[in-house]
Amino acid sequence: MTEENRLKLRAVAAEDVEIMSALLQDGLVAASDLHYQKDEASFVMVINRFCWEQADDSESQTQPNRCLCGLKVAHVKRVSQRGLSAGVNQFYNLLSITFEKTKENGKVVNMLTFTFSDGYGIKLSVDVLALIVQDIAAPHPGMARPQHNKS
C-alpha cells in the first residue's frame, strides 16, 4: 500500500461521522487498544478494519483484506462505557459511530457514540467534534467478508 492509498479521514460534522462509520463497520477492536488520555482530553483506539473500499458487491472468492487503523477523538470531556471489560483477549466488533447534540441540564452536549455488537458501547462527551482516522499498516488478508442480514 502506498502512502496515497492509505485511508486518512477527518470528521468535523455529523455527515462526516456517517461516512467514517460506514468505512469502519465490522472493525475489530481489542480491549487493550482503547485508551482515554485525560491529560490530553483525547480518546484513541486501534481498529482492525475490514477494507470495504476494496470489496465488490458480488460474492466473489477474492481474499478479503483488513487493515490496522488508528482513531483519535480530540476535545473529550467525559467517557462512559457499557459492558466493556479490560480482558487481555477481549475483542469487540464495531457496528457504528454516531454523533448527536443533546440537552443535559439545559446545556447542549455533543455526544459521540461507538456501538459494538452484543450491546457494548462507548459514549464520549466532546466540546467540539474532531475525529481523525488513519491507516497505520498495510492491508493484510482477512478471514472472511462480514455478512449482514438484508432484511
The DSSP secondary structure of 65-93, one letter per residue, reads EEEEEEEEE-SEEEEEEES----TT-EEE
Q: Is the pLDDT of residue 4 over 90?
A: no
pLDDT above 70 as % of the chain? 85
HSE (side-chain half, CA atoms, 13 Å) at 23? 21
Greater model confidence, 82 or 61: 82
Of 138, 118, 130, nearest to 29 (Cα)? 118
Report the range of poorest mean pLDDT among 17-21, 123-127, 147-151: 147-151
Q: Note the pLDDT of residue 104.
A: 83
Res 144: pLDDT: 65
Count Cβ atoms below 10 Å from residue 45 Cβ, excluding itself. Answer: 22
Rounded CA separation 15/88 (Å): 34
Residue 55 burial (10 A CB sphere; 0-12, 13-18, 19+): middle
Over residues 20-28, the mean pLDDT reads 94
Digit-coded pLDDT (tens) for 90-143? 899 999 999 999 888 888 899 999 999 989 999 999 999 999 999 999 888 777
- The mean per-residue pLDDT over the stretch 9-34 comes to 94
